[in-house]
């Protein structure tokens, strides 16, 4: 990383030397790759420089002025080490012992600026989800992992970041989903298919909050979610995971629609090995998941095959190619019969199903031309096909859609000087849709973007912009220019202040523009006059370490929206997507974490408050919860593991009241806040020489009943056992 390779401002007349070694406080072993920063504190010539610790943990600063300095050593997974040292003519040597900690104050992120940088340099709020946390919770679909991220919640399968989104019946998304920086929204509906991403291959997930259109274009109106895949292709290993569980029968007899237990289970196997072509390796993962469903006709069967190969093409070039094929057969449940039959659909939905197949092939080529310049080529092909029997058709097939999406991007990153980084690029996308629900249409888009970052001592400034062109067949083209600016001020000792402002936009999807669907008592009709959405987002925030034990991140934010697209009922009771809303979402967020000075207990908590106001009607926006409170505790000692998660989500105050008034959703006004507690306990015998871990999980421990979408009960208490091994 450029930030850790700054060897600057050395002066030839100084004779002092500061050296040392970085070690682990647990076993005194050397730590390689730690960032060691040296900053002058006295009247001597100002100096701020850094090095990386070598393989044996050693580091050295040559020819520094005599005087006092602040030495900071940081490494992901360890607490930061800070000390004051004096440089003398005889030389100064010290040992820096780092204590392991899950509180990572210097995490590295990629998504915020399309390049690797320290989280402390990013002017917007970013949250990370690690593969370890997903493994601990037995996450089987990415959206389940995101439900624990500060400021993020879901209305069924539609993601909402800080009140940017409500519920649009599976069509359109104000949050852009990426895999290793490549967009992964379907070409027809423009939605994120969470279950198509194999969880076993996720290294971590980066969630960028606020408008991201200045770098990523359309659909990044409310934020960006980037899935970073694992780099495990060059090792010879195999991992196997199996799980099984069941849903508890409902407490109320009226809700007990089946006398049989409702089970869920799954298995996955992943193998990685070198393939003998330089340092190239390959990873293949196959998984199968089955769920009987706690709600009648809400079952699914999922099969996913994922393959990846990666390696270096010479000294400075690398290539990664990955692809997956996903198939799901699932039942269809829109709304309950009524509150007395909350786990049974209306009779017309019984026997309805949806079959979908998704496939993608993606490639990333990186060429480090010199120490100051590199370029990246990203490309992908995304195939999406689904059909259902939701309507009355003689063939038994009702709605069907096939879309083909091609994407290509060329990005350059240039270190203009040690304090200035420029990121720039061009990208384009084409979509071809063949559908009896959205008609046969095509769309295409192209963009130019740039972002410049400059360090001025303690100040880190970012400016950038993107120009987009969007065209949907049958509509006039649309052009949009989106600028952004951000500042981060380093307060010292890991504390910082940040501020940002940026614009965003989202072009309507083909489905929002041309949908013609009959489903669940609703008739959705086209609106070819639909316009793109626009937004302006601002944020002021800061980060502050709490001693060596924790971290607090807080932010105040506001987003203004124009031409917001929302599904609306017309005078005849039909639904159409319309530009009806001029809206403003304001709020604040506090995110805190600590290990309480121990190596076995981690505590995390976050609180998000949003005020999502429709400025046209002076009512609250639909399907937005004002308050989100997430708390978790993780215990790890020797071979034992335990954790508890709690989520509070306030009940949304506005919804599609016509669904209730027209009798489509009976008792649809019955909704309550969500209080959900998940508990896990297990053992990991790997350290004892036996490659096996076992975890027992109880989700919704107190069996609390609530809805995320009106007339649709969320999962009740369920039990599962997870077994995994690596060899």
Number of Cβ within a 10 Å radius of residue 237:
12
Least confident of 9-18, 161-170, 275-284, 309-318: 9-18
| Overall average pLDDT of the 452-464 stretch | 93
Provide mean pLDDT across the span 202-224.
88
* 47-61, 106-120, 703-717: range with lowest mean pLDDT: 106-120
The average pLDDT across 262-273 equals 93
The mean pLDDT of 348-375, rounded to a whole number, is 91
Query: Which of the four CATH numbers 2.60.40.10, 3.40.50.300, 3.50.50.60, 3.90.1570.10 does domain 2-98 have?
Result: 2.60.40.10
Residue 28 has pLDDT above 50, yes or no: yes
- Res. 580 pLDDT band, cuts 50 70 90: confident
Q: What is the pLDDT of residue 423?
A: 94
pLDDT score of 48: 67
Range with the poorest average pLDDT among 56-60, 265-269, 563-567: 56-60
Percent of the chain with pLDDT strictly greater than 90: 49
- Number of alpha carbons in the 13 Å side-chain half-sphere of residue 301: 4
Higher pLDDT, 473 or 74: 473
Give pLDDT, residue 722: 95
Cα separation, 15 vs 472, in Å, equals: 67
User: pTM of the full predicted structure?
Assistant: 0.84
- The pLDDT of residue 146: 93
Q: What are the phi and psi torsion angles at 362 (to 5°)?
A: -130, 150
β-strands 575-594, 674-684 pairing: unpaired
The DSSP secondary-structure symbol of 662 reads: T
**Distances, alpha carbon 6 to alpha carbons 36, 39, 41, 420, in Å:** 10, 12, 19, 12
665 or 39: which leads in pLDDT: 665
Distance from C-alpha of 113 to C-alpha of 224, rounded to nearest angstrom: 11
* Matching CATH number, 225-726, of 3.30.1330.10, 3.40.50.620, 2.60.40.150, 2.40.170.20: 2.40.170.20
Q: Is residue 255 exposed (0-12), middle (13-18) or buried (19+ Cβ within 10 Å)?
A: buried
Using the predicted structure, report yes or no on whether residue 517 has a pLDDT greater than 70. yes
Query: Domain ranges in the chain?
Result: 2-98, 108-224, 225-726
Protein fold of 108-224 = Ferric Hydroxamate Uptake Protein; Chain A, domain 1 (2.170.130)
**Tokens 């480090």 label which residue?**
368
Does the pLDDT value for residue 84 go beyond 60? Answer: yes
Is residue 375 scored above 90 in pLDDT?
yes
What string of DSSP letters covers 424-492? Answer: EEEEEEEEEEEETTT-SEEEEEEEEEEEEEEEETTEEEEEEEEEEEEEETTS--EEEEEEEEEEEEEEE
pLDDT value, residue 1: 34
R_g over Cα of the chain = 26
pLDDT in tens, 589-609: 999 988 766 668 889 999 999
pLDDT band at 575 (very low <50, low <70, confident <90, very high): confident
> For 81, left (φ over 0), alpha (ψ -120 to 50), or beta?
beta
């Amino acid at each position: 990383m450029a930030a850790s390779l700054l060897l600057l401002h050395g002066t030839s007349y100084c004779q002092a030397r500061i050296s040392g070694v970085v070690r682990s406080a647990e076993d005194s072993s050397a730590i390689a790759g730690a960032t060691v920063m040296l900053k002058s504190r006295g009247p001597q010539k100002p100096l701020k420089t850094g090095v990386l610790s070598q393989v044996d943990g050693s580091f050295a600063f040559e020819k520094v002025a005599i005087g006092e300095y602040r030495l900071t050593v940081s490494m992901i997974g360890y607490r930061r080490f800070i000390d004051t040292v004096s440089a003398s003519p005889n030389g100064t040597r010290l040992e820096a012992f780092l204590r392991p900690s899950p509180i990572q104050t210097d995490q590295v992120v990629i998504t915020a600026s399309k390049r690797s940088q320290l989280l402390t340099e990013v002017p917007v709020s970013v949250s990370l989800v690690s593969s370890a946390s997903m493994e601990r919770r037995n996450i089987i679909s990415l959206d389940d992992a995101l439900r624990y991220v500060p400021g993020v919640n879901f209305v069924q399968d539609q993601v909402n970041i800080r009140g940017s989104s409500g519920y649009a019946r599976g069509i359109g998304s104000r949050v852009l989903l990426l895999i290793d920086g490549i967009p992964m929204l379907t070409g027809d509906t423009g939605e994120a298919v969470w279950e198509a991403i194999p969880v076993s291959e996720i290294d971590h997930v980066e969630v960028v909050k606020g408008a991201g259109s200045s770098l990523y274009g359309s659909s990044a109106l409310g934020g960006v979610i980037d899935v970073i895949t694992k780099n495990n292709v060059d090792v010879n290993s195999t991992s196997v995971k199996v799980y099984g569980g069941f849903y508890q029968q409902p407490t109320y007899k009226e809700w007990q629609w089946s006398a049989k237990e409702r089970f869920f289970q799954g298995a996955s196997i992943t193998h990685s090995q070198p393939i003998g072509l330089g340092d190239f390796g390959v990873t293949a993962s196959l998984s199968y998941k089955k769920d009987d469903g706690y709600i009648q006709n809400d079952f699914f069967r999922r099969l996913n095959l994922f393959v990846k190969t990666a390696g270096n093409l010479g000294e400075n070039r690398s290539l990664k190619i990955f692809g997956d094929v996903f198939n799901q057969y699932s039942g269809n449940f829109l709304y309950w019969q009524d509150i007395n039959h909350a786990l049974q659909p209306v009779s017309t939905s019984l026997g309805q199903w949806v079959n979908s197949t998704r496939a993608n092939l993606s490639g990333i080529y990186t060429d480090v031309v010199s120490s100051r310049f590199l370029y990246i080529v990203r490309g992908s092909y995304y195939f999406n096909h689904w059909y259902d029997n939701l309507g009355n058709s003689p063939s038994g097939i009702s709605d069907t859609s096939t879309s083909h999406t091609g994407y290509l991007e060329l990005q350059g990153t240039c270190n203009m000087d040690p304090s200035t980084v420029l990121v720039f690029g061009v990208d384009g996308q084409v979509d071809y849709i063949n559908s009896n629900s959205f008609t046969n249409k095509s769309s295409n888009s192209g963009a130019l973007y740039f972002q410049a970052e400059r360090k001025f001592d303690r100040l880190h400034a970012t400016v950038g912009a993107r120009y987009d062109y969007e065209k949907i067949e049958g509509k006039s083209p649309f052009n949009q220019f989106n600028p952004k600016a951000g500042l981060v001020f380093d307060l010292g000792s890991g504390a910082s202040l940040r501020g940002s402002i940026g614009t965003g936009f989202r072009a309507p999807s083909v489905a929002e523009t041309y949908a013609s669907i009959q489903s669940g008592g609703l008739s959705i009709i086209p609106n070819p006059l639909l316009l793109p959405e626009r937004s302006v987002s601002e944020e002021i925030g800061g980060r502050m370490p709490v001693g060596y034990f924790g971290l607090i991140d807080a932010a105040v934010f506001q987003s203004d929206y124009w031409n917001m697209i929302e599904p609306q009922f017309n005078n005849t009771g039909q639904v159409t997507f319309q530009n009806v809303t001029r809206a403003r979402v304001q709020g604040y967020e506090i995110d805190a974490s600590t290990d309480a000075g121990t190596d076995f207990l981690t505590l995390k908590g976050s609180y998000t408050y949003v005020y999502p106001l429709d400025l046209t009607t002076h009512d609250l926006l639909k399907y937005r919860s004002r308050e989100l409170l997430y708390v978790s505790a993780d215990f790890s000692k020797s071979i034992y593991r335990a954790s508890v998660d709690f989520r509070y989500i306030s009940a949304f105050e506005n919804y599609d009241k016509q669904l209730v008034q027209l009798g489509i959703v009976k008792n649809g006004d019955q909704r309550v806040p969500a209080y959900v507690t998940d508990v896990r306990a297990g053992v990991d015998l790997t350290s004892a020489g036996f490659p096996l871990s076992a975890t027992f999980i109880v989700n919704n421990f107190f069996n609390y009943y609530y809805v995320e979408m009106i007339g649709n009960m969320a999962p009740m208490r369920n039990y599962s056992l997870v077994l995994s091994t690596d060899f």
